[in-house]
Structure 1
Amino acid sequence: MSSGASRTDAPTRREQILKEAARLFAERGFHGVGVDEIGAAVGISGPGLYRHFAGKDAMLAELLVGISGQLLTGGKRRVAEAEHGPEALLDSLIEGHIDFAVDDRDLITLHDRELDRLRDSDRKLVRSLQRQYVELWVESLRKVYPQLAEPQARVAVHAVFGLLNSTPHLSRPGSLPGRAVTARLLHKLARGAFAAAAAPE
């Protein structure tokens, strides 16, 4: 998956399985896809998948817990590596989330549709990771716009996530103007939304 290993690394068989499972689950729904279909998509028998995963539930959990963890880890890394001030850090966080929103659209669809299918423990873990990710953004946003109270900053962050995570609705062929153009536009919209949230009423 693009949010994990370097894009120059060849994906492992496990990563290939997860990528195809995400695509198929997003296209047809969790219950609309069989293990045999996932196996066929990566060139192995359905039963062969059980050498990698206990079943579809385990794949779904790894996808949703995994991407939440990767976003948080990536955000923390950007904070730790920030050298050019709060504005540059906020831009870096936005860029990182745009990479996810543009390149892993299937996971956004999967999260919206299938999160409630996770076991309670996995769902609670996803929520915990997401809360930490939001708070990281809130803290960074308030360094740029100290006039924003914490509750307002949190609303603004959630709103920008909703904006950036709208990319699955642009999945029609030809509906995206190209990755670079899309990324620049999303970045401009995110910064504009934050600036509007911080503007005097």
Structure 2
Amino acid sequence: MTVDTRAPTSREVKKAERRAELLAAAATLFADRGFAGVRLEDLGAAVGISGPAVYRHFPNKEAVLVELLVDISEYLLTGGQRVASTEKTPAEVLGDLIDFHLDFALTSPALIEIQDRDLQSLPAAAHRKVRRMQREYVEIWVSVLRRLDPTLEESDARTTAHAAFGLMNSTPFSANRTVSKRSRILLRAMATGALGI
């Protein structure tokens, strides 16, 4: 297999930048209006292009949703695996997992809303992929929680992890999706308290 080592052309760079703009605009629009309430024309208008021009980047609206939710699920899973693979104590790893998840929750509230409301709009194969990655991410937390407390039943550890996610993922549902400077400190303190570290 040949590896392409050439630098991207300016056209390729611009196309990648436009694609990133479309994804960012889609995250905002889908969070505000719901997946069903957004047309490709709306998405194009948000970045200053026509609806049909969106087809140069995505074959349809579903492909945009797939990329948003698959990408964030992959990010969480690989990040969680990286955090959990360190040689730290279980309490330190759990603290790092909280920080990692809060970084996501506080910077990506739109994606949390989309995931919460529009996951069922994914095509079947993408839906299965996202759900599998989500389960694997939860199991990282379950493993660390049980290392921290070996008496904790697996099902209880899973319930605990989901409760922590609910607490940390509450940020999009704050008034106007605004997050105060103290939000991270408050959420971290609540999560660490709830998880017993």
TM-score using structure 1 length: 0.85
Task: Measure, in 2, the Cα distance between the counterparts of 1:92 and 1:66.
Answer: 21
Q: Quote the Cα distance in structure 1 between the aligned partners of 2:87 and 2:107.
A: 26
Q: Please name the residue that 1:84 is paired with.
A: 88
Q: Give the AA of the match of 1:113.
A: R
CA-CA distance at 1:117 after TM superposition: 1.0
Counterparts of 1:83 and 1:114, CA distance in 2 = 37
1:15 alignment partner, one of 11, 20, 28:
20
Aligned alpha-carbon RMSD (Å) = 1.7
Structure 2 alignment gaps of length 5 or more: 1-15
| Residue 176 in structure 1 maps to residue 179 in structure 2 | yes
CA-CA distance at 1:187 after TM superposition: 1.1
1:51 aligns with 2:56: yes
Matches within 5 A, 1:1-201: 12-80=17-85, 82-172=86-176, 176-178=179-181, 181-195=182-196
Count how many residue pairs are aligned between Structure 1 and Structure 2. 182
Amino acid at match of 2:168: L
Greater C-alpha radius of gyration: 2
Question: Equivalents in 2 of 1:132, 1:151: separation in Å?
Answer: 14
Instruction: Give, in whole Å, the separation in 2 of the partners of 1:63 and 1:127.
Output: 14
Contact 2:106 2:179 in 1 (8 A): no
1:125 Cα deviation after fit: 0.8
Name the % identity.
47
Q: Which runs of 5+ in 1 are unaligned?
A: 1-10, 197-201
Task: Sort the Cα spacing of 1:105 and 1:171 in 2 relative to 1 into closer, same or farther, 3 A.
Answer: farther
